[in-house]
Amino acid sequence: MSQTVSAADALRIDTEVVLSLLVGFVREEVHKVGFQRVVVGLSGGVDSAVTAAVAQRALGPDDVVPVIMPYRSSSPASEADARAVCDQLGLRPVMVDISPQIDAYFERFPEVDRTRRGNKMARERMSILYDLSFAERALVIGTSNKTELLLGYSTVHGDMAHALNPLGDLYKTQVWALARALGLPDRVVDKPPSADLWEGQSDEEELGFQYALVDVLLYYLVDERRTRVELRALGYADDFIDLIVQRVRDSQYKRRPPVIAKLSARTIDREFRYPRDWGR
Amino acid sequence: MSPTGPATQGLASDAAVASRETPPADAPVAPREGLEDTTGAVVVALAQMAPRLGDVATNLDRHLTMIDEARRGEADLLVFPELSLTGYFLKDLVPEVAVRLDGPELERIARAAGDLDVVVGCVLESDETRFHNSAIYISGGAIRHVHRKVYLPTYGLFDEQRYLAAGDRFRAFELLLPRASQPRRWRAGIVVCEDMWHPSAPALLARQGIDILICPSASPGRGIIQGAALGTALSYEWMTRTFAQLFTCYLVYCNRTGYEDGVAFWGGSRVVGPDGSLLSEPGGAGEALMWHRLDLATLRRVRIAYPLLRDENDELNDRESDRIRSRRAQD
């Protein structure tokens, strides 16, 4: 794909404004539901590092519970990076090796492909975070960014399961900018993004395009609602536009609650509409 | 944009201002701190607050606390934000949080306010079961004026027309201000938030003669792109200053703070003088009770320098409006 558009000014954020909004968001949305603490899964990647840093600013280091959950095939560098983030933020990580339960389960299904194994790991981690959520009286804070939510590059009921999500309206490129503004370790910010669900996994190889490229296209498509003609004029090839539009459309179900069969006069979320912060 | 441009600096600078964070309820309140009396001066307090969504009882208590504080600080007028009794993103809570003009909630506010004038935001239910996003002016223990929001935003993150009925008028009214000694009565008009995005609204009020344009607001912050972050805040910065200057009146903008369902309200409450200059730094993003002194002498001085209201051609305006209307009728 030959693209002429760079991730130029369209995605350049005012990091100071964003940080103050996110810190206020975490503090208010946690406190107003009667909690003081959050639990966050730390992968060693930039999304969870930024999430932890925002939570640390909002709540203080004692009220952020980071959990590092490696599988035996996870890159050792990931764990080291996650620990480096904890050290910098003054957080004490909880370590849970998920190898025993993952291996025990797949003994029954030895011929399983890596996508299925990866999804199972993501859901295992979710299950651990929610168990610790109860034990620590801490809300599960999510780390999904806008790029992966729009592309459906995430596991339903896995990394997509959480109580609040500070990064869900920021593209990956913008998360990197925030990470730099927060002064997070270079090794976390500069390494190639990976879900680390199998050895050598790379987001950009698996997706088939660079974040810097897709982020700008998504911004034009979603935020600015540009037409096909405008996108072509901006240098985007039709096949790339088609690919992205289809990914967004095909993953719409992931961003919605389960569909309810309409029967009564007042169906939940259709006519029964209340704010989430009802009385909070 | 600098808070006070050099060209306008000084015109309203003698309207000194003190702004401070809300002290605890039992803290002593310095009366008219830095707000020494001059001819026709009134003290306006802005209650930049974060209402609790859908919880009228709690919000009512907080109103009473702030009324008490404003009284002890010798304010003449206390302005609350849009929907201050209920919070903003109410959705199906609208019928549950609505109050009536003769209901106990407004009665309690009126009684507590005594000789302090108050503008409070609520959902008003009519006898026809219509629900209006309303701003209520209370003075001397009684409701003196009601503005029902005319322009209900229903786009983007807004959905007001699904739940609310629109108002049908912009009317100026007299501020009674019993606590202040006045050489003449102040006149005011109210626009609620989105109303101000329609310049015909302040224009209609200005034509009826107003000294203060009061805008209670619940404006959500959005936009993060470098150089245009919180674009809505920038828009209000431009609108408040432009309208105050063009209609040569004080503009009292009271926006709320806090978060609802992940949406941040950006605060930034302020009073703009009739020359378009800010009386003091706008409020930040937190809760605050902010004090400002407004005076008729400044209004008079600015209107002598800029006789825009005198020169406004109402007859031409009417004639052209009639022509446009009759042409439309023929289409």
Interchain contact B264–A (C-beta under 8 A) = yes
Q: Is A21–B264 a contact, with Cβ atoms under 8 angstroms apart?
A: yes
The b-or-e profile of B50-66 (16+ CB within 10 A means b, else e) is: bbbbbbbeebbebbbeb
Torsion of CA B238, B240, B244, B250, to 10 degrees: -150
Q: Give the A:B interface size as CB pairs under 8 Å.
A: 67
- CA gap A279, B74 in Å, rounded: 33
Nearest residue to B285 (alpha-carbon basis) of B263, B258, B262, B254 = B258
- Distances from the Cα of A188 to the Cα of A146, B131, B179, angstroms: 19, 53, 62
Which residues on adjacent β-strands are paired with residue B143?
B138
Interchain contact B229–A (C-beta under 8 A) = yes
Q: What three-state secondary structure class fits B277? A: coil
Q: Is A277–B260 a contact, with Cβ atoms under 8 angstroms apart?
A: yes
B158 is a domain residue: yes
Q: What three-state secondary structure class fits B310? A: helix
Residue where the block lists tokens 């849009």: B82
Judging contacts by C-beta atoms under 8 Å, the chain A residues touching residue B285 are: 20, 24
Which residues on adjacent β-strands are paired with residue A65?
A39
Q: What three-state secondary structure class fits B186? A: strand
Q: For B266, which residue in chain A has the nearest alpha carbon?
A: A21
Whole domain around residue B22: which residue ranges?
17-330
Q: Is B91–A273 a contact, with Cβ atoms under 8 angstroms apart?
A: yes
B6 is a domain residue: no
User: Are A171 and A218 contacting, i.e. CB atoms less than 8 angstroms apart?
Assistant: yes
- Helices A172-181 and A46-59 pack at an angle, to 10 degrees, of 50
Residue B47 CB neighbour total at 10 angstroms: 29
Domain count along chain B? 1
- Distances from the Cα of B24 to the Cα of B28, B247, B288, angstroms: 9, 38, 11
Judging contacts by C-beta atoms under 8 Å, the chain A residues touching residue B93 are: 274-275, 278
Residue from the list B92, B225, B262 with its beta carbon closest to the beta carbon of A273:
B92
Nearest residue to A39 (alpha-carbon basis) of A119, A142, A158, A121 = A142
Tokens of A76: 């050792």
Interchain contact B195–A (C-beta under 8 A) = no
User: Are A86 and A93 contacting, i.e. CB atoms less than 8 angstroms apart?
Assistant: yes
* pLDDT at residue B32 is higher than 70: no
B295 is a domain residue: yes
* pLDDT at residue B5 is higher than 50: no
- CA gap B148, B123 in Å, rounded: 9
From A3's Cα to the closest Cα of chain B, the distance in A is 23
pLDDT at A72: 94
- CA gap A226, B246 in Å, rounded: 36
Residue from the list A25, A274, A275 with its beta carbon closest to the beta carbon of B264:
A25
B83 is a domain residue: yes
Judging contacts by C-beta atoms under 8 Å, the chain A residues touching residue B89 are: 275, 277
User: Are A73 and A198 contacting, i.e. CB atoms less than 8 angstroms apart?
Assistant: yes
Judging contacts by C-beta atoms under 8 Å, the chain A residues touching residue B229 are: 13-14, 17-18
The residue among B49, B53, B222, B256 with the most chain A CBs within 10 A of its CB, best to mutate, is B53
Judging contacts by C-beta atoms under 8 Å, the chain A residues touching residue B52 are: 279-280
pLDDT at B28: 47
Interchain contact B323–A (C-beta under 8 A) = no
With a CB cutoff of 8 Å and minimum separation 6, the contacts of B43 are B32, B35, B73, B74, B75, B76, B77, B180, B291, B292, B293, B294
Tokens of B113: 């306010």
- Interface predicted TM-score (ipTM) of this complex, two decimals: 0.89
String of DSSP letters for A149-195: HHHT-S-TTTTT--SB-SSTTS-HHHHHHHHHHTT--HHHHHSPP--
* pLDDT at residue B277 is higher than 70: yes
pLDDT at B266: 95
Q: Is B91–A21 a contact, with Cβ atoms under 8 angstroms apart?
A: no
Judging contacts by C-beta atoms under 8 Å, the chain A residues touching residue B261 are: 275-277
- Helices A172-181 and A211-218 pack at an angle, to 10 degrees, of 110
Residue from the list B92, B221, B261 with its beta carbon closest to the beta carbon of A21:
B221
B81 is a domain residue: yes
From B289's Cα to the closest Cα of chain A, the distance in A is 20
- Distances from the Cα of B105 to the Cα of A62, A201, B63, angstroms: 42, 61, 10
Residue from the list A28, A174, A278 with its beta carbon closest to the beta carbon of B93:
A278
- CA gap B217, B267 in Å, rounded: 9
Overall average pLDDT of the B67-74 stretch: 96
Overall average pLDDT of the B70-76 stretch: 95
Q: What is the CATH number of the domain that holds B138?
A: 3.60.110.10
Residues of A with CB under 8 A from a CB of B: 9-14, 17-18, 20-21, 24-25, 28-29, 164, 170, 174, 272-280
Residue from the list B53, B225, B285 with its beta carbon closest to the beta carbon of A13:
B225
Per residue in B146-172, pLDDT (tens digit) is 999 999 999 999 999 999 999 999 999
The residue extents of the domains of chain A are 9-207
Tokens of A145: 């960014």
String of DSSP letters for B237-266: HHHHHHHHHHTTSEEEEEE--SEETTEEB-
pLDDT at B225: 84
Q: HSE on the CB side for B229, CA within 13 Å?
A: 15
Interchain contact B155–A (C-beta under 8 A) = no
From A131's Cα to the closest Cα of chain B, the distance in A is 25
pLDDT at B231: 86
CATH of A9-207, one of 3.90.660.10, 3.10.150.10, 3.40.50.620, 2.60.40.10: 3.40.50.620
Q: For B90, which residue in chain A has the nearest alpha carbon?
A: A275
From A21's Cα to the closest Cα of chain B, the distance in A is 7
Residue from the list B54, B89, B224 with its beta carbon closest to the beta carbon of A279:
B54
Q: Is B91–A275 a contact, with Cβ atoms under 8 angstroms apart?
A: yes
Q: What are phi and psi of B45, to 5 degrees?
A: -105, 135
Residue from the list A24, A174, A275 with its beta carbon closest to the beta carbon of B89:
A275
Q: Which residues does chain A have with pLDDT short of 70?
A: 1-8
Per residue in B190-242, pLDDT (tens digit) is 999 999 999 999 999 999 999 999 999 999 998 888 877 788 899 999 999 99
Q: Is B227–A14 a contact, with Cβ atoms under 8 angstroms apart?
A: yes
Q: Is A276–B261 a contact, with Cβ atoms under 8 angstroms apart?
A: yes
DSSP element (H, E) containing A238 = helix A238-250
Tokens of B194: 């989105």
Q: Is A17–B285 a contact, with Cβ atoms under 8 angstroms apart?
A: no
